[in-house]
Amino acid sequence: MFKNVTTLTEFILEEESKFPQATGNFTLLMTLIENATKIIGSHIKKAGLVDILGQTGGTNVYEEEVQKLDVFSNDLLVNILSSSNLVSTIASEELEKPIRLKNKGHYAIFFDPLDGSSNIDTNVSIGTIFSIYKNSGNYLQKGSQQVAAGYVVYGSSIMFVYTSGSGVNGFTLDPSIGSFLLSHPNIRIPEKGSTYSINEGYFEMFDIKVKNYISSLKKEKKYKLRYVGSMVADIHRTLLKGGIFLHPADFKNAQGKLRLMFEVNPMSFIVNQAGGKSISGTADPLEITPTSVHQRTPIVLGSSQEIDKYLSSIKS
């Protein structure tokens, strides 16, 4: 029944064996992240019951304190990673400042513990996004320095998708055995797609070039709009089906809304590794030198031909 099945742990161990100098620290770090996301996923599946069992933020019938899921997810990841001695910098979208640990940890980790968490109450897919760097003097490094990046999408199934620089692989949680199993080996984003993903509610605030691009897509019958409002869900669909995801700057958010270190860099690394492209304005987001941990940046990413089409549209 389970022949020819590769678990995430086996996959990461096989990857590690390709690097003779590997210490096993990266494998352990990824395993800790995996375990944390399994726990987060199990709490999300029960989220709807919280209202029955007790109000979020209060205590439930078991007299357990019911935390908001994004706070719970953040605290879980921080606690697991802080006690691992593997990371010496922990930065979270939920924490104003990074945690700097006095240990010999080789890595710095950035995560958005529960991206799109405002969608929890309506049962819309949400996700955890993570980005791993080798420690260096300045913990703020360009996205091109990432050693790994990944996301977990808590949707109809729970999927763990990551890259460590040699392609993108996807694993689906089999709840019956509690393991992520390799279900999407070597993900390649289609070179073009028929879906564009943008919050058209901001249309009037976009630059005229973006408006013209969107209008040009509407004239072509092949394009349809799909926008979940959870970056992980929108990127996961774009990665598997092709298309383009845009969260550009607008008159209210001149720097864009999405965060460079927690959302844009990891997702750009993943999409690029799957054969797609990503741009911030007209620059490569992975080459942006970060100046602050929560800095925001515009982002457009997806199928290579769709990005080329977007660039030629806004440059014309």
Q: Which residues bind ligand P6P (CB under 6 A)?
A: 115-116, 118, 199, 229-231, 234, 247, 257
CB of residue 10 vs ligand P6P: minimum separation in angstroms? 31
Q: Which residues are CB-neighbours of 95 under 8 A, at least 6 positions away?
A: 74, 78
Nearer of residues 105 and 276 to ligand P6P, judged by Cβ: 276
CB of residue 213 vs ligand P6P: minimum separation in angstroms? 17
CB of residue 89 vs ligand P6P: minimum separation in angstroms? 22
Nearer of residues 164 and 278 to ligand P6P, judged by Cβ: 278
Among residues 259, 246, 242, the alpha carbon closest in space to that of 203 is found at 246
Nearer of residues 35 and 118 to ligand P6P, judged by Cβ: 118
Nearer of residues 229 and 275 to ligand P6P, judged by Cβ: 229
Nearer of residues 41 and 127 to ligand P6P, judged by Cβ: 127
Question: Which strand ranges, in their side-by-side order, compose the sheet holding 195-197?
Answer: 224-225, 195-197, 244-247, 299-302, 277-279
Whole-angstrom Cα distance, residue 288 to residue 144?
9
Alpha-carbon distances of 201 from 82, 172, 198, rounded to whole Å:
40, 33, 9
Displacement of CA 56 from its chain's centroid (Å): 25
Residue type, 265: N
CB of residue 263 vs ligand P6P: minimum separation in angstroms? 6
Whole-angstrom Cα distance, residue 237 to residue 165?
21
Nearer of residues 94 and 115 to ligand P6P, judged by Cβ: 115
CB of residue 258 vs ligand P6P: minimum separation in angstroms? 6
Which single residue is written with the structure tokens 């590769």? 6
CB of residue 244 vs ligand P6P: minimum separation in angstroms? 14
> How many beta carbons lie within 10 A of that of residue 305, not counting itself?
16
Whole-angstrom Cα distance, residue 129 to residue 113?
7
